[in-house]
Amino acid sequence: MDRVSPRLLLVEDDDHIRMSLRWALEDEGYQVAEAASGEDACRSVATAAPDLMLVDLMLGAMDGFQVIREVRRAHDLPIVVVSARADTHDIVAALEAGADDYVTKPFQVKEVTARLRALRRRAGGQGGSGGEGAAERPTELVLDPDPVAPLVLRPERGTVHRGQDQLPLTLTEFRLLCELAANAGRVLSRQALLERVWEHGFFGDERLVDVHVRRLRTKVERDPSAPTLVVTVRGLGYRLDPQ
């Protein structure tokens, strides 16, 4: 798929899991850097400059949530969380901290690589290299023509500006906004968004959509507690209403 093998930072404190995962991921063509603790992980993000991160939530002194928050201060790379259980609040907390997706233990490596590939694909889909359907994409979408601080989405360049400031959207949030903007005025179901943004199938977790919409709102809405741009349509999904 990729000419250069993607660099992946694997954050896991269980030696055996880390070792076996490294083998399996290398078999799949990733360049793997390891971190056995949260502190280690934060250092490695700077030195190894990974394209992707796989983070276990249960770490030592500095847990996975802190690692994600720390990394999110300066990086928009895709982060996939590894959790022991899918039904706990941990998942939502990790997503709120800034994770893009999750897998539960015990997982099969092909599940993980499928998630990573989906995240990579959309990361490559914008940023100038020309993704699917790039020709039809408008170069600039004004989502909120506020005279003082208009909200402008530039899908081609992968940026969103509020006035002069570029908003710090993660890749997933950006893709979600593009998907909603491309269907402005129409309701998109959670299921549809899961398929288009995360490439999840029927059994995907709709909490992914909800948490990411929440995160997106805090960045693009004038008043995130009373959203007017990305609105919830009860029982159906979400809709982007250009202001």
Partner 1 sequence: MTPSLGPRGLRARIVLAFAVGALLVSAVLVTTTFLLARNYLLGQRESAVTRQAFADANVLSSRLSTAGSQVGEELVDLVPSGGADVVVRSGGSWYSSRLDVGARDVPGSLQELVTAGSAGTARISTPTGPHLVVGVPVVAADLQFYEVAPLAELQASLRTLTAVLGAGALAATAAGAVFGAWASRRVVQPLEQVAGAATRIAGGELGIRLPPTEDPDLLAIVASFNSMVDALASRIERDARFVGDVSHELRSPLTSLVTSVEVLGSRRAELSDRGRQALELIEAELDRFRRMLDDLLELAKVDGTAPAGTVAPVSLSALVREVLAHRGCPPGLLHADADDATTVRGDKNRLERAVTNLLDNADRHAGGIVDVRVQRQDGSVLVLVDDAGPGVPPTERERVFERFARGPRAARRSMPGAGLGLAIVEETAAAHGGAAWVSDSPAGGARFSLVVPGAAG
Q: Does 128 bind partner 1 (CB under 8 A)?
A: no
Q: Which of 2, 23, 60, 138 binds partner 1 (CB under 8 A)?
A: 23
Q: Which of 5, 14, 69, 221 binds partner 1 (CB under 8 A)?
A: 14
Whole-angstrom distance, CA of residue 206 vs CA of residue 151: 27
Q: Could you tell me which stretch among 2-10, 12-20, 153-161, 223-231 binds partner 1 (CB under 8 A)?
A: 12-20
Q: Does 106 bind partner 1 (CB under 8 A)?
A: yes
Q: Is the distance from CB of 90 to CB of 64 less than 8 angstroms?
A: no
What is the per-residue binding string for partner 1 in 28-67, x denoting contact by CB under 8 A? ----------------------------------------
Nearer to partner 1, 106 or 185 (CB): 106
Structure tokens that stand for 182 in this block:
């491309």
Q: Does 27 bind partner 1 (CB under 8 A)?
A: yes
Q: How far is CA 183 from CA 96, 130, 176, 187, 241, in A?
A: 25, 20, 11, 8, 10
Nearer to partner 1, 10 or 151 (CB): 10
* Helix segments in the chain, DSSP class H: 15-27, 38-48, 64-72, 89-97, 109-125, 171-182, 190-193, 207-220
Structure tokens that stand for 88 in this block:
């706990």
Q: Which of 24, 62, 114, 231 binds partner 1 (CB under 8 A)?
A: 24
Q: Which of 105, 130, 134, 242 binds partner 1 (CB under 8 A)?
A: 105
Structure tokens that stand for 105 in this block:
């233990």
Nearer to partner 1, 175 or 212 (CB): 212
- Residues between 157 and 216 that touch partner 1 (CB under 8 A): 201-203, 206-207
Q: How far is CA 152 from CA 37, 78, 138, 158, 237, in A?
A: 39, 23, 12, 11, 23
Q: Does 19 bind partner 1 (CB under 8 A)?
A: yes
For residue 161, give the nearest of 174, 176, 171, 175 by alpha carbon: 174
Nearer to partner 1, 147 or 201 (CB): 201
For residue 101, give the nearest of 77, 124, 125, 137 by alpha carbon: 77
Nearer to partner 1, 197 or 209 (CB): 209
Whole-angstrom distance, CA of residue 64 vs CA of residue 83: 10
Q: Does 17 bind partner 1 (CB under 8 A)?
A: yes
Whole-angstrom distance, CA of residue 212 vs CA of residue 98: 9
Nearer to partner 1, 109 or 187 (CB): 109
Residues that bind partner 1 (CB under 8 A): 14, 16-17, 19-21, 23-24, 27, 84-89, 105-110, 201-203, 206-207, 235
